Amino acid sequence: MRPVTGWVLVIGAAAASVVLVVVYLAAGGGSYEPTPVADPCDARAWTSPDDAEETAQQFFLSTLDGAACELGVSREELATALATEETRRQFAAEQGIDDAELEAAVRAGVVRAIDDAEDAGAISGIVAEGLRAVASRLPVDEALAVMTDAQGFLDDPGGALGDLLDEAGGLLP
């Protein structure tokens, strides 16, 4: 048996590279298009939540979807905008909306998330009704707190609902 020379290895590696490129191109690798951003107005089914963390994540994303749909922007754009007070003001100025419009959109997002959570069986109808009553009058800062602290609510809905009602004091008729 003859020993393999360096040239045979180089030719073999080049042939393998050509085959790899041909297979890649045949599989559609010649063009790349990023996945389009999902329409926040389209309903997204909640998965069957396994734990409170997954439910809280779905609640947060549903809230963002609802608010983004109201504003006509992507969920990702809104999430970035709501990160800080400064980015929120900048977003409002770019979109030509005032604080009242932003607050209304965030409230609508919280209500949508409550509806979605109730439909998924993550919260009871009684809790959902109480939350809807509060959410419809909730200041945007409190609505954002509900969005970001959904885990606390889901861990102890009675306590969190009581805290929310205390914070929203005077907002209910």
- The domain spans of the chain are 1-33, 52-167
**Quick one: which H or E segment has residue 173?**
none
Cα separation of 19 and 91, whole Å? Answer: 49
**Rounded mean pLDDT, 62-84:** 89
Work out the pLDDT band at 65, boundaries 50, 70, 90. very high
Residue 77: pLDDT over 80: yes
**Burial per residue of 16-42, b for 16 or more beta-carbon CB atoms within 10 angstroms, e otherwise:** eeeeeeeeeeeeeeeeeeeeeeeebee
Summarize pLDDT for 115-169 with one digit per residue, the tens: 888 888 888 889 888 888 888 777 766 666 665 555 455 455 444 444 544 544 4
Higher pLDDT, 173 or 85: 85
Cα separation of 129 and 115, whole Å? Answer: 9
Asked which of 36-50, 89-103, 106-120, 138-152 is least confident by mean pLDDT, the reply is: 138-152
Cα separation of 124 and 72, whole Å? Answer: 30
